[in-house]
Chains A and B, each alone.
Chain A
């Protein structure tokens, strides 16, 4: 089999980003419209999406800016909202062992829920395609789509069609389901997924809206490993 060069891997990364692009369209437009309503200009939205690149934090940030909340508060909130990405960054580590620092620094920028979901699935599939070039293709495409959708939202304001009728609301959820199906190699994986989901939901319901994902994922994963060790004795 022909060894894939960097350009090929980059292009495959871009291709794998398509479901993310589809999912980002409705969400990005919505954010842009909301931002426009509180006074964002096109260049403000463009800058925010290009520099921060974090959906949920941007939604909250736009809302807070509209309310005149202090910058320090907004930045602190952003930290907590995005903190879960440290877990995703850690999960990539074994698969990017020994890569150049500047390359790691570059691909780290684009770690979001969606790009991580696609990227880590690719890494775990053990295909040679995964690597820096792949991640750059994946993340650049997602970033560009996000930046375009949000900026466009500010421009078109209330003129957006009712996109729900096209079912695009489901794009990201569908992508996540597909990736889970690919990654669920054993019943244990599936059990971990469901248990983590349940715990995450429960934690969210009792008010842990920022840490539910982190705590659920770590607790359930550690428990699964612990049980595995115990069973092996």
Chain B
């Protein structure tokens, strides 16, 4: 394990490569007039990103797809999804989901 000083140098390197992709698009593109096609695609990108992040998280357990009742995360997600049809309040959805998850973990 490197010294704290050496670690700091590494962290700064990690910061640089992390920060550039975060800052460049926003600063550059927000100053441009974007073509209609780009704006139309960007309309869908956010929800596409959320789906792309969420689905693997829910379905993958230790690198394998697990669509069974043993996958509590998935089960809680399905139930929470149903709840989200009826309310769009984030707090209600998140807390309900956490409660469902706690029930599943503790009861089964």
Give A contacts to B, CB under 8 Å. 16, 18-19, 22, 38-41, 43-44, 47-48, 51-54, 57, 61, 65-66, 71, 74-76, 78-79, 82-94, 96-99, 101, 104-105, 107-109, 111, 113, 116-117, 120-121, 124, 164-171, 173-184, 188-189, 192-201, 204-205, 212-213, 216-218, 220-222, 224-225, 228
Residues 28-53 of B, flagged 1 when their CB comes within 8 A of A and 0 if not, give: 01111010010111111111111111
| CB-based contact A98/B50 at 8 Å | no
Which residue in A22, A171, A181, A220 is a CB contact (below 8 Å) of B48?
A220
| CB-based contact B29/A93 at 8 Å | yes
Give B contacts to A, CB under 8 Å. 1-2, 4, 6-15, 17-19, 21-27, 29-32, 34, 37, 39-60, 65, 73, 76-77, 80-81, 84-85, 88-91, 93-106
Q: Is the interface of B mostly helix, strand, loop or mixed?
A: helix
Closest to A168 in B: B98
From known contacts A52-B11, A93-B30, A225-B40, infer whether A175 and B94 are also in contact, taking CB-CB under 8 Å: yes
Beyond A52-B11, A90-B42, 14 additional pairs, beta carbon < 8 A: A38-B1, A51-B12, A54-B18, A78-B14, A85-B18, A86-B21, A89-B24, A94-B39, A116-B46, A173-B58, A174-B95, A181-B84, A181-B85, A221-B45
